[in-house]
């Protein structure tokens, strides 16, 4: 027979984690949009700073298990490629 208290606690815990994960993913999307905006306006110095910040945020999300390691690597690679193409 299942223990109801534990199942209620699990529901609360998963909701808390989902909210935390959602906020981190949202922040990643916002920071990515900022970076792409800086690239389109040709502000290379600011874009490089934004990229280093974005890479660190992706690594943190990867280490906490919010995003998969391959997803983080793919996003970092594509963003760096865009920076290199734009600056060249």
Q: What is the CATH number of the domain that holds 82?
A: 1.20.58.110
What is the extent of the structural domain holding 79?
4-87
Cβ-contact 78, 31 below 8 angstroms: no
The span from the CA of 8 to the CA of 4, in Å, is 6
What was the pLDDT predicted at 32? 98
What was the pLDDT predicted at 88? 78
Flag whether pLDDT at 83 surpasses 90.
Answer: yes
The span from the CA of 29 to the CA of 81, in Å, is 18
pTM above 0.75, yes or no: yes
Domains: count for the chain: 1
What was the pLDDT predicted at 2? 62
Residue-wise pLDDT tens digits, 8-60: 899 999 999 999 999 999 999 999 999 999 999 999 999 999 999 999 999 99
Orientation of helix 44-63 relative to helix 69-87, angle to 10°? 170
What was the pLDDT predicted at 3? 75
């Amino acid at each position: 027979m299942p223990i109801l208290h534990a199942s209620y606690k699990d529901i609360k815990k998963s909701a808390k984690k989902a909210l935390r994960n959602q906020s981190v993913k949202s922040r990643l999307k916002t920071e990515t949009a900022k970076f792409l905006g800086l690239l389109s306006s040709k502000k290379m110095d600011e874009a490089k700073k934004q990229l280093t910040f974005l890479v660190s945020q992706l690594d943190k999300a990867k280490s906490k298990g919010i995003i998969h390691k391959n997803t983080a690597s793919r996003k970092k690679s594509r963003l760096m490629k865009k920076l290199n193409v734009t600056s060249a």
